[in-house]
């Protein structure tokens, strides 16, 4: 298979920008949900009920993701990676911008909440097809030796999206009063999705179809129903992949949504302080993700995921213990530790997936495995909130969730590494 280095670089950039937009759109809503969704759209449910409804609205987009994975996975394996990604990013950009024009409960009763749920469903369907396609466009333009590094590039989209969205809300909270934000300014970050969408569409339109998929077409190797072929040929690999992905996805839900709310409501930090801490962590990830991707080339993607999971398991409880007594400096340190170690598992995730699944149905495989993990992760804020309520917010309750995700991912990544070795021997 001939590799075009210029096209490979362009594919990595297009994948990165696209996942950045998807992550920006997601985190804009996640930050928004932490404090504003409840009062603006679910006010009659009260404080706890409104917060729980807001967190469940985050989970909703995760729950519907497997539907998007099935739809776009089929299209991606049958028609091609490139066009599928253009459709997914368009759906996300339009749905996000429309959230910014929704009427609140005071303006239209439950109409705004119903429309919000609908747009969250559309966002979730889009997300179901985005990540797997972005990883494939980046990796299938590369030689096998470089794919672990290329697979880490779309993962940069998450910290970039987190930085941009946190910066937007930091600006809002420092420039405007809470009353102004609630009245109208909360809409502004959602409208910025439109120019970002246009940039992403332009970049993705310049990328050719991947050499891997072109070769599948030429040899007429496409399965008629890729998802069914996947479940028939590699059912165990799906289960392993879901578990491998759990920490990388779930830690973001825990740290960037629940911990922000917990830090303000229970620990007494200012909202902007939590946003600054997560933004600093995101900036550091811009350096560490490529480094972890390069490390995956040397020792294998599964090994990098395992080391990240082990490190997170060891620090899960200390992080939340020290947060009880933290000043702002300690807060930043704890958020960095709680972010960088799971980032190892996140950075190498696409490499693991690309290695263990057959290329004939790889789009469907990446989409469905990632989406199932995302469904579980989407309930992390609500689950942690419920545990906190049941334990009177004892300091260790978020650590239980983080440690459990770490252990599951650790065991699964070890097994994924053995699967790769077995395939190489065969």
Q: What is the pLDDT of residue 66?
A: 92
Residue 408, H or E segment: helix 397-425
All residues at 6 or more sequence positions from 217 whose CB lies less than 8 Å from its CB, including other chains: none
Confidence label for 367 from pLDDT (cuts 50, 70 and 90): very high
Q: What is the pLDDT of residue 69?
A: 93
263 phi, psi to nearest 5 deg = -65, -35
Alpha carbon distances (Å) from 415 to 58, 237, 241, 244, 302: 31, 10, 10, 9, 9
Q: What is the DSSP letter of 254?
A: I
Choice between 338 and 192, residue whose per-residue pLDDT is larger: 192
Per-residue model confidence as pLDDT tens digits over 107-144:
888 898 899 889 989 988 988 888 888 999 999 888 88
Say how many residues make up the chain: 426
Say yes or no to pLDDT of 205 above 70.
Answer: yes
Alpha carbon distances (Å) from 38 to 32, 382, 387: 9, 13, 20
Say yes or no to pLDDT of 6 above 60.
Answer: yes
Give percent of the chain above pLDDT 90.
31
For 293-338, give the DSSP string: HHHHHHH-HHHHHHHHHHHHHHHHHHHHHHHTT--HHHHHHHHHHH
Mean pLDDT across 241-249:
94
Say yes or no to pLDDT of 424 above 70.
Answer: no
Say yes or no to pLDDT of 420 above 70.
Answer: no
Q: Would you tell me how many other CB atoms lie within 10 Å of the CB of residue 71?
A: 17
Say yes or no to pLDDT of 426 above 60.
Answer: no
Q: What is the pLDDT of residue 3?
A: 67
Lowest mean pLDDT among 225-234, 402-411, 415-424: 415-424
Q: What is the pLDDT of residue 47?
A: 73
Buried b / exposed e along 276-310 (16+ C-beta atoms within 10 A): bbbbbbbeebeebbbebbebbbeebbbbbbbbbbb
Say yes or no to pLDDT of 425 above 50.
Answer: no
Confidence label for 76 from pLDDT (cuts 50, 70 and 90): very high
Mean pLDDT across 58-66:
82
For 201-212, give the DSSP string: HHHHHTSPPPHH
For 115-138, give the DSSP string: HHHHHHHHHHHHHHHHHHHHHHHH
Lowest mean pLDDT among 300-304, 392-396, 409-413: 392-396
CATH 3.40.50.970 fits 5-425, yes or no: no
Q: What is the pLDDT of residue 2?
A: 64
Rounded-to-integer distance, Cα 178 and Cα 173, Å: 7
Rounded-to-integer distance, Cα 100 and Cα 146, Å: 40
Say yes or no to pLDDT of 68 above 50.
Answer: yes
CA-atom Rg of the chain in angstroms: 20
Mean pLDDT across 273-293:
84
Q: What is the pLDDT of residue 313?
A: 95
Rounded-to-integer distance, Cα 205 and Cα 153, Å: 18
- Beta carbons of 33 and 55 less than 8 angstroms apart: yes
Rounded-to-integer distance, Cα 32 and Cα 422, Å: 45
Q: What is the pLDDT of residue 34?
A: 65
Place of tokens 């390069």: 294
Rounded-to-integer distance, Cα 49 and Cα 38, Å: 8
Mean pLDDT of the chain: 85
Read off the pTM. Answer: 0.82
**Domain spans of the chain?**
5-425
Mean pLDDT across 270-279:
75
- Report the SS3 class of residue 220: coil
For 338-407, give the DSSP string: HHHHHHHHHHTHHHHHHHHS-GGGHHHHHHHHHHHHHHHHHTHHHHHHHHHHHTTT-TTHHHHHHHHHHH
Confidence label for 423 from pLDDT (cuts 50, 70 and 90): very low
Lowest mean pLDDT among 204-213, 260-269, 342-351: 260-269
Choice between 70 and 82, residue whose per-residue pLDDT is larger: 70
- Report the SS3 class of residue 100: coil
Query: In a 10 Å sphere around its CB, with 0-12 CB exposed, 13-18 middle and 19+ buried, how is residue 325 labelled?
Result: exposed
Mean pLDDT across 390-414:
92
Give percent of the chain above pLDDT 70.
96
Per-residue model confidence as pLDDT tens digits over 44-56:
887 778 778 887 8
- Report the SS3 class of residue 234: coil
Confidence label for 256 from pLDDT (cuts 50, 70 and 90): low
């Amino acid at each position: 298979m001939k590799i075009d280095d210029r096209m490979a670089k362009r594919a990595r950039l297009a994948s990165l920008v696209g996942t950045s937009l998807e992550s920006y759109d997601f985190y804009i809503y996640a930050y928004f949900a932490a404090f504003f969704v409840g009062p603006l759209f679910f006010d009659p449910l009260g404080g706890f009920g409104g917060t729980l409804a807001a967190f469940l609205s985050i989970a909703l987009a995760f729950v519907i993701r497997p539907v998007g994975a099935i739809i776009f996975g089929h299209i991606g394996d049958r028609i091609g990676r490139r066009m599928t990604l253009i459709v997914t990013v368009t759906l996300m950009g339009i749905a996000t911008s429309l959230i910014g024009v929704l009427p609140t409960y005071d303006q239209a009763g439950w109409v705004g909440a119903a429309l919000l749920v609908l747009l969250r469903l559309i966002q979730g369907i889009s997300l179901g097809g985005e990540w797997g396609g972005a990883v494939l466009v980046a990796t299938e333009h590369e030689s096998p030796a470089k794919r672990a590094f290329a697979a880490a590039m779309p993962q940069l989209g998450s910290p970039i999206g987190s930085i941009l969205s946190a910066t937007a809300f930091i600006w809002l909270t420092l420039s405007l009063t809470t009353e102004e934000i609630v009245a109208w300014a909360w809409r502004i970050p959602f409208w910025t999705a439109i120019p970002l969408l246009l940039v992403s569409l332009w970049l993705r339109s310049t990328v050719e179809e991947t050499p891997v998929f072109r070769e599948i077409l030429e040899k007429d190797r496409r399965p008629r129903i890729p998802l069914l072929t996947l479940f028939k040929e590699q059912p165990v690999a799906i289960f392993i992949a879901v578990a491998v992905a759990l920490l990388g996805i779930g830690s973001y839900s825990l740290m960037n949504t629940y911990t922000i709310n917990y830090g303000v409501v229970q620990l007494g930090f200012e909202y902007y302080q939590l946003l600054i801490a997560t933004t600093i962590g995101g900036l550091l990830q811009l350096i560490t993700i490529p480094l972890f991707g390069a490390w995956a080339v040397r020792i294998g993607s599964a090994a990098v995921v395992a080391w990240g999971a082990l490190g997170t398991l060891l620090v899960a409880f200390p992080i939340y213990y020290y947060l009880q007594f933290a000043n702002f400096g300690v807060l930043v340190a704890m958020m960095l530790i709680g972010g960088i170690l799971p980032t190892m598992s996140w950075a190498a995730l696409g490499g693991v997936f690309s290695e263990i699944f057959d290329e004939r149905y790889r789009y469907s495989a990446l989409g469905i495995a990632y989406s199932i993990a995302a469904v579980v992760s989407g309930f992390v804020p609500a689950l942690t909130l419920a545990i906190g309520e049941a334990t009177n917010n004892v300091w260790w309750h978020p650590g239980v969730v983080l440690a459990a995700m770490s252990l599951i991912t650790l065991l699964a990544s070890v097994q994924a590494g053995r699967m790769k070795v077995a395939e190489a021997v065969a």
